[in-house]
Amino acid sequence: MDSYEKICFQNLLEQMYGESVCVQHIEQQSDGEQGASGCEVRYYKVHFTRGTRHLETKQMISKEASLLERQVLALLCEQKQAVPPTLIPNLLSEKSHFYQQYADTQIEGHGPFDPITKAYAHALARIHYMNLGQHPEWLRSATENFEDRLWLRAWRKEWHLNLTIPRFALEYGCYTDSLDDSLSRLLVFLHERTTEGTSLTLINTDLIPNDIRSIDGRPMFIDWDQAAYGCFYLDLPNYFSIETVLCYRDALAELGLNIHPALFMDRFHEVGRYMGLRYLEVGLQAWRRHYNETMEQNNDALQQEKKSTDDNEWNLQYWFFHYCLELALNGR
């Protein structure tokens, strides 16, 4: 640990506590989850004292992040939004590190009346509401050219690759036209939201469950490297269900944007296609990989033992593939 990083963590802790902090020792952890973006994330235990108090420890991270992600975090921290406390020393370079308190996995809410569900709904609604109609020049736009800017092309290439496999073509080929129609419906929906303009704001665009976290029981949202200016409905399908999404609508209404419940639910149904079409690529790759591995397997005991382990993983991938296909075809 070099002295620069020690100073950064000390500055972050002082920012968090509003008083002088003395970092005593830093332990870098040997393992830790890495994000899908490929940016390196390092994990630390930072031991420190405040005044005459006893030794305390906080889990921290550093991440080599894009300029876009650092700019988004700087904005959200300034607005006191639901992101972890973050220190951003550099807002000029294309790539640089930020320093952040580690956020635990999300606390699960159980239904629309659970205070936890309502807390996450309010936290996300507040981010969207406070940035409605605000499009900083540095924030990329997702209000046009949707197929490229929202990663909606990749599934089609994988789909047609899989159609060259007779088994896949026999079982799934009948959905080809329906998927094309579903994409067309989604593009019309997004164009309508752009023209209307009332839902355009800062969005994450990739709010997967692993990016929905908590600190001391409070909701936190991480990984903003794919953020954009676009329709806030795009951030909803991965976390909210038909049963819970009205908590988000109600939170928006409390903040000042009141959307008729029936209209809101109709739009939530349509935007569900987004997550299905976007992640269908992953499911299609898993299906093809499993098919190829099955064709190559031998009958010896070692291969059979490995097959049992692989089958457990495949069951999850198979479910995910069908989950994405269902969303892509029918929405939420």
The span from the CA of 249 to the CA of 245, in Å, is: 7
Task: Name the 3-class secondary structure at 25.
Answer: strand
Strand partners, 64: 97
CATH fold label, 3-102: Phosphorylase Kinase; domain 1 (3.30.200)
Q: Which of 31-45, 76-90, 137-151 has the lowest mean pLDDT?
A: 31-45
Ordered by start, the domain boundaries in the chain are 3-102, 115-330
Cβ atoms of residues 275 and 319 within 8 Å: no
Per DSSP, the residues of 52-112 read TSPPEEEEEEEEEEEHHHHHHHHHHHHTT-SS--EE---SSSSEEEEEEE--EEPPPP-ST
Confidence tier at 38 by pLDDT (50, 70, 90): low
Reported pTM: 0.91
Cβ atoms of residues 74 and 136 within 8 Å: no
CA-to-CA dists, residue 3 to 25, 97, 143, 245, angstroms: 11, 15, 44, 46
The CATH classification number of 115-330 equals 3.90.1200
CA-to-CA dists, residue 100 to 84, 208, 288, angstroms: 6, 20, 39
23 phi and psi angles, rounded to 5 deg: -75, 125
Q: In terms of pLDDT, which residue wins out, 301 or 23?
A: 23
DSSP for residue 24 = E
Q: Which of 49-63, 98-112, 308-322 has the lowest mean pLDDT?
A: 308-322
What's residue 298's pLDDT? 55
Confidence tier at 306 by pLDDT (50, 70, 90): low
Strand partners, 101: 60
